[in-house]
Amino acid sequence: MIFDPMYFLWIAPAFFLGLWAQFRIRATYAQAQRLAAPLSGAAAARHILDSAGLNDVEIEQIPGHLSDHYDPRANVLRLSPEVYQKRTLASVGIAAHEAGHAIQHAHGYAPLVVRNAAVPLAGFGSNAGVLLVIIGAIMHMNATLIWLGIGLFATVVVFQLVNLPVEFNASARAKAQLVGLGIVSDQELTYVKKVLNAAAWTYVAATLQAILTLLYLVTRYGSRD
């Protein structure tokens, strides 16, 4: 698969969509980082969490660029230095998005529950699934190994499909909270939307790549059993 040129043709649409999404993120993030906000990302996230009654959710600064995420196991919202410290529309938008995940977790948002449960299996299936397909192909197209590998990789597709509503919903919650709590105005929200919408396209690209890879595996190997 790694050395098959056809694979790269299969995933080309997702690859170019991902490149475009990354370009959009850099452009919109840089623009929104130049626009001031009344609170830092950490302060905005704290305000949103406290307003939702989530005083027990901690906020930590972590190294990295756009390494922001919510850890449901530790009940901690972790923000990169720029997002944590800076008072910009980009920082409050990203921090609010991650706070949205914390609110989802607190409310038992069903797609988030499914996504979190699927993480270990999807992580295993991503590598083991492709490996089993390759081994099955080497072993004279062993149908059992090939279809077992395809089945394992299918968990990645399921994970990505479930992840889309989780991310879209977190962004929707972020936008509503930022305006509802008076952290940004309706006009300023336009720039926050640009950042969050650009980030959403990266999830779409990842989902498309998983689907196209699965279709490639089925077409290239599964039809030869």
pLDDT digits (tens, 9 = 90+) for 30-64: 999 999 999 999 999 999 999 999 999 999 999 99
Q: Tell me whether residue 98 is one of the annotated catalytic residues.
A: yes
pTM of the model: 0.89
pLDDT at 222: 72
**58-61: strand order across its sheet:** 58-61, 76-79, 69-71
Domain that holds residue 211: 5-224
CA-closest candidate to residue 198, choices 26, 30, 45:
26
Which residues are bridge partners to 76 per DSSP? 58, 71
- When pLDDT is averaged across residues 115-123 and rounded to a whole number, the result is 89
- For the ranges 50-64, 119-133, 202-216, the lowest mean pLDDT is seen at 119-133
Mean pLDDT for all residues in the chain = 93
Is 136 a residue whose pLDDT tops 90? no
Q: Which tokens go with 83?
A: 């997002």
**Between residues 155 and 139, which one has the greater pLDDT?**
155
pLDDT at 223: 65
pLDDT at 3: 64
CA-closest candidate to residue 94, choices 46, 52, 41:
41
- d(CA 45, CA 94) in angstroms, rounded, equals 9
CA–CA distance from 179 to each of 33, 51, 151 (Å)?
18, 13, 44
CA-closest candidate to residue 94, choices 38, 25, 155, 144:
25
How many domains does the structure of the chain reveal?
Answer: 1
pLDDT at 143: 85
- d(CA 203, CA 216) in angstroms, rounded, equals 20
Is 225 a residue whose pLDDT tops 60? no
Percentage of residues of the chain with pLDDT beyond 90:
79
pLDDT at 127: 86
Task: Please give the angle made by the CA atoms of 168, 118 and 155, to the nearest 5 degrees.
Answer: 95
| 179 touches 124 (CB < 8 A) | no
Q: Which of the following is catalytic: 58, 60, 82, 98?
A: 98
Residues belonging to the chain: 225
**Between residues 141 and 162, which one has the greater pLDDT?**
162
Is 94 a residue whose pLDDT tops 60? yes
